[in-house]
Structure 1
Amino acid sequence: MNWLNFFDNKTTPLKHPFGRGINAKLSENEEELFNKSYEAFESKDILKAYEYFFKSLENFTNEDSNQNITTRLENEKLYFEIFQGTAKVTGYITQEHLYAEAIITKTSSASVAVKRHILDRNYQLTYAYYFTDDEYIKLKLYHDNITMNPHKIFFPLREITLNADFDKEYMKSEFEGIVLEDISHLEKLDSNEVQIKYDFMQNTITEVEQKIKTLPSNDNAGMQAFLLLNTLYMLDYLLVAKYNIYQKSSKKIQEYFTEENSTMESKNNELRIYIDKLQAMSFEEFSSNFYNAKYTFNQTDKTPKEEMDNFISESLLKIRWYKNNRYTQVISTIYKYISFYVLYNYGLNLVVKELLHTLVEIQNPIFFKDLGYTELYNEKEESFSKKTIIKRIEDIIQPHQDRYKLLEAFGEELNFSSLNEFSNSFYLQIQNLNFEEI
């Protein structure tokens, strides 16, 4: 055995969550479990159908179950717990119906503004609804099992779970003094990890401000937009902040793309003001916006690959325009922006998501090295860990080639001459991936 090759090919498994999706893998027989659930529903074996269904949603880290869904069968009732961030949805299933609820906060501690918000939310939900008992404000779901199947129950359970988590985070951010209940399952981050994230945020914002100063004095709004938006997307994906930081950042991004009556200059200024506030944040305040948790449902619906491919093509055209007009300061930023934008906005299949994360690791080597990951790109030497990268791509694609016969690893086709050329070739190969099932 060539021991040099062995160590060069070795990669560090992911041990931190990144982005807003499920940072784990579903069961290898997820599709089989889903189909068994369907068959059990058709034969009216309701409890067994739900057992199969919940098993299909179970996710794993390094082959170990994350216990994101737990079940217990007792006295012809199937009791369950579903975890999603701050939310713990508990309930039971009988042959006739399903009941689920998530505790939000104590009724006695909820202000008038909180109660008004709860009432408004009921008009926005399709399956679940808020109510109060003697002690708590809860989000609740009741569903008959008469004509149930896995497709029909997926969306109601997804709605109550995602919205319970979102509303708890939103209320914590928007209503001063509110105390969230039923969050003992949340885990505190290691203080060293929080410090690495805080330092990265500070350094990133400083670098962006310095780069903005180097832009041409006239007609630089588009370049500023890329620099500022990429900062927010990057911090969101890499830091995975919760509560106030997440709520405010996502609101700023949403407003940027929906405020049709504002000029780009005005919107850029709003982003700069907010980013300055992030940099002025103390470490103590920053630290209060983090926790680790289990997740069961992705926030974003699956996006057709053609939509992502079109976005990549349009972005590469913009890079070409900046390159032809010698605005080189922003080119490396746009190459990063593409992956962060896609990971933030699109529901991706597992292969594309893992490949884009690999590119993110390569483009942001210092952050990942500080977290203890294998270095894939050395910025000082401008050199790649070529064999490791090629092996990583093979490891991502190979498990899916039985299903997608035309899916091929592309590591050998990449351009390793520079980071920009590498990124360009990587995106082109992403576009060429063939997920046709034959």
Structure 2
Amino acid sequence: NFFKTKTERIHQFGRGINANISPNEEVFFNKSYEAFEKQDILNAYKYFLKSLENFSNNTSNCNININQENEKLNFEIYQGTAKITGYVTNENLYAQAIVTKNKSTHVALKRYILERNYQLTYAYYCSDDKYIKLKLYFNNLTMSPQKIFFPIREIALNADFDKEYIKSEFSNIILEDIGHLKSIDDNELKIKYNFLKKWINEIILKIDTFPSNDNSGMQAFALLYILFKIDYLLVPKYEIYQKTSKKVQEYFNNENSTIEAKNEELKEYIYKLKEMDYLKFSTNFYNAKYTFNPTEKTSHEEINLFITESLSKIRWYKNNRYNQIIPIIYEYIALYILYNYGANPVIRALLHMLVEIQNPIFFKELNYNTLYNKDKSSFYKKEIISKIEEIIVPHQNRFKLLKPFGDKLNFSTINEFNNSFYLQLQELNFEDV
């Protein structure tokens, strides 16, 4: 295909695994189930762990490592800052994630760990003579792939979250077992830092154009949009991630505060991000391997409902001639879904493509082929249609009614394109036939 895009994704975007599941994932999972039924425990776990392996550009990310020694299966699972090591015998499963050295703890951290133990379902914190660890121990007598998935996922996600949280809240404590993390190229960091400043300056100027009366709703969209954008495109870790996610959570969960007060809190935080110097900014980034998505799977119906509600708000603003907020809400929709929902791989890939189209200057700086020329307000139509086919066609074996929709998009303006793209997303049929 002459128009096939030449842009393999080489950067991490968002909080998911940023990779493709194993092409044999379903085969391995089914083999694991059959082996558990036969009490062939070591092979059952081997197949299960292989089903968790993910790939980028057809190459394994080595997020799962397995090594069998006689009647013992050793494994490693990577999830961000967390490295889960363990072993399986015919009788038991043991897994652990080292967090920090025992001697480095103080009262506040011990209190935090104690509270976390009450929040966890399967894993638990403990300490030996050297380390504080998150541990998991199971008897294999009645095990199955479904039963083991959630405990393994819990220890991986929570070990990663807690190590990030500890790094953010207890700056004097040194994390252990993070030798697998890779630093980000300084040029890439500078690009991200410059865009952080650029986006915040732009949104501040945009907010100044809003009508002086009754603009709290527009401000909310603009402020949340910029935080979602920073999170998805820049992918900060540690302090920036922890504080950003806390601000977003408080915004949506605090029912006792007015929207105006919550906007002011977001604005204050965004100004702090704007004033952050490069040295501090650069300490909030690393590259890592991931095995589990942090968000729960979300039905297509739920995502459709959010899109419908959001498009109705756009129509209201359009009818009332608040045109300056409309492009922001169109971008907000995709970023909100990517931040909050565990969308299926097709939806995630399509939304990422939409984000690429909406942010051509940023992606060009990262050396990706762009799909939209902002200066000329023109689309690379054939490349967009081709890319939609690349995303959808591989999934048609499972979803027979899933059809590419590139030829149904409206390429007249960026707003019309966004609107038609969301409408086509809603039309996708993920029914198994």
**TM tier relative to shorter chain:** over 0.9
Once the two structures are superposed, the pairs formed by residues 164-179 of structure 1 within 5 Å of their partners are: 164-179=159-174
1:32 maps to a residue whose letter is: V
Letter in 1 for 2:107: V
Residue 298, structure 1, aligned to residue 293, structure 2: yes
* Letter of the 2:63 counterpart: N
Selected match of 2:303 from 304, 308, 317: 308
Give 3-state SS (helix, strand or coil) of 1:233's partner.
helix
Deviations 1:262-299 (A, max 9, x none): 11100000000000000000000000000000000110
Residues in 2 aligned to 1:140 and 1:110: alpha-carbon distance in whole angstroms: 18
**Match 2:206 to one of 199, 202, 211:** 211
1:192 is matched with which residue? 187
> Residue 390 of structure 2 is aligned with which of 390, 395, 412?
395
Distance 1:380 1:205 in 2: 21
Shift of 1:165: 0.3
Structure 1 residue 11, shift from structure 2 partner: 2.9
- Tell me what 1:405 maps to: 400
Give the distance between the partners of 2:6 and 2:76, measured in 1 at CA.
Answer: 34
Quote the sequence identity (%). 66
**Structure 1 residue aligned with 2:248:** 253
Shift of residue 312, structure 1, vs aligned partner: 0.2
Alpha-carbon deviations, 1:380-427, whole Å to 9, x = none? Answer: 000001010000000000001111110000000000000000000000
Which amino acid in the other structure matches residue 124 of structure 1?
A: Q
Per-residue deviation, 1:29: 1.5
Shift of 1:175: 1.1
What residue in structure 1 maps to residue 23 of structure 2?
28
| Number of equivalences | 433
Q: Does 1:320 align with 2:321?
A: no
1:356 equivalenced with 2:327 (yes/no)? no
For the pair 1:371 / 2:366, whether they are aligned, the reply is yes
Letter in 2 for 1:69: I
Counterpart CA distance in 2 for 1:117 and 1:10 is 48
| Separation of aligned partners in 2, 1:392 and 1:80 | 37
Gaps of 5+ in 2: none
Give the CA deviation at 1:112.
1.2
- In structure 2, C-alpha distance between the alignment counterparts of 1:14 and 1:176, rounded to whole Å: 33
Partner residue of 1:43?
A: 38
Q: Does 1:158 align with 2:153?
A: yes
Tell me, yes or no, if structure 1 residue 180 matches structure 2 residue 170.
no
Distance 1:85 1:249 in 2: 18
Please state whether the residue corresponding to 1:298 is helix, strand or coil.
Answer: coil
Distance in 2 separating the partners of 1:289 and 1:93: 35
Say which SS state the counterpart of residue 83 (structure 1) adopts. Answer: strand
Match of 2:126 in 1: 131
Q: Tell me the distance in 2 between the aligned counterparts of 1:92 and 1:14.
A: 33
Contact 1:11 1:388 in 2 (8 A): no
Question: Match of 2:292, SS?
Answer: coil
Distance 1:9 1:237 in 2: 25
TM-score by length of 1: 0.98
> 2: CA distance between counterparts of 1:65 and 1:38?
23
- Counterpart CA distance in 2 for 1:150 and 1:22 is 20
* 1:140-180 CA distance string (max 9 Å, x none): 00001000000000000001110000000000001130100
AA matched with 1:303: T
1:346 aligns with 2:375: no
Contact 1:85 1:165 survives alignment (8 Å): yes
1:71 deviates by 0.5
Instruction: Note if contact 1:406-1:435 (Cα within 8 Å) is conserved in structure 2.
Output: yes
1:265 aligns with 2:282: no
Q: Please say if 1:55 is aligned against 2:27.
A: no
Distance 2:280 2:318 in 1: 41
TM-score (norm 2): 0.99
Q: Distance in 2 between matches of 1:27 and 1:168?
A: 28
In 2, are the aligned partners of 1:11 and 1:392 still within 8 Å (CA)?
no
- 1:28 Cα deviation (Å)? 1.0
**1:78 to 2:79 alignment:** no
Q: By how many angstroms is 1:70 displaced? A: 0.3
What is the distance in 1 between the residues matched to 2:33 and 2:344?
23
Decide which moves more: 409-418 or 107-116.
107-116
Return the offset for 1:75: 2.5
Q: What secondary structure does 2:119 align onto?
A: coil
